[in-house]
Structure 1
């Protein structure tokens, strides 16, 4: 982010942390009981996933909107000048969480819940950013878009 931060919000995934934690404990128990290192590979993958996806942070400044998972290794940034429009939306439950395609042209970035802000880009692509503050984020982005309009 370059300019002054207008909005910054982080959303955690409590359910994912509980599920990953329980599975990690179970795998740890298997390693302990079997005295074999076999389950260490899946345990390592789970711990890495937990570190990378435990939080989703959304940041908005004068030029960009950015989403970052966990410590920021996985991130995506858009210039506000590339956005045609935006608005709050509600994802279907089967859209799930994580980073993936939904539909034919929409990328989803979500960690918890069903609420999101949909960004419709000038090039026809669509992105959805999961948030528990969809109206607030959408209003702030729309305000920035109006200010930058000629």
Structure 2
């Protein structure tokens, strides 16, 4: 394995924590309202998107959220180039289809954009963009 990093999704966890507090207050303020289902949804989202793990090795770049949710990979042979980008705040968090291609992130605005040979792009959010880019460039050169 040339590179492996897990970024904790502080932004997503903060949003889900705030949502849980609002739901807790709502359940106290209006105990007759069924709020349990909303707690379950918030909990599931927090678990699924609590982190983003990216690995570079064994002929591919692989990434997944939380405990292995939405696992994706690209063979090195599919990648034309890679570069560091800064995403816009309004692109949001999680899995996004943008006009430029797919974005996967859990926190922050740094990402490594992979331009694929078929013309599409995949951007991977990370708090270690320089290290990720160096690992990708190393395997693309070999």
TM exceeds 0.5? yes
* 2:107 is the alignment partner of 1:131: no
Distance 1:132 1:109 in 2: 13
Check whether the contact 1:62–1:144 (CA below 8 A) recurs between aligned residues.
no
> Gaps spanning 5+ residues in structure 1: where?
none
Deviation at 1:37, TM superposition (A): 5.8
* TM-score normalised to structure 2 length: 0.91
Distance 2:111 2:81 in 1: 14
* Number of the residue aligned with 2:47: 51
* Number of the residue aligned with 1:95: 91
Deviation at 1:33, TM superposition (A): 5.0
* TM-score normalised to structure 1 length: 0.87
> Gaps spanning 5+ residues in structure 2: where?
none
The 5 Å alignment of 1:1-150 reads: 5-32=1-28, 34-36=30-32, 38-103=34-99, 105-147=100-142
Deviation at 1:145, TM superposition (A): 0.8
The CA RMSD over aligned residues, in Å, is: 1.5
Deviation at 1:87, TM superposition (A): 1.1
**How many residues matched?**
142
1:29-65 Cα offsets, whole Å, 9 max, x none, are: 4335544462122211111000000001111103011
Deviation at 1:144, TM superposition (A): 0.5
Runs of 4+ aligned residues of structure 1 deviating over 4 Å after TM superposition are none
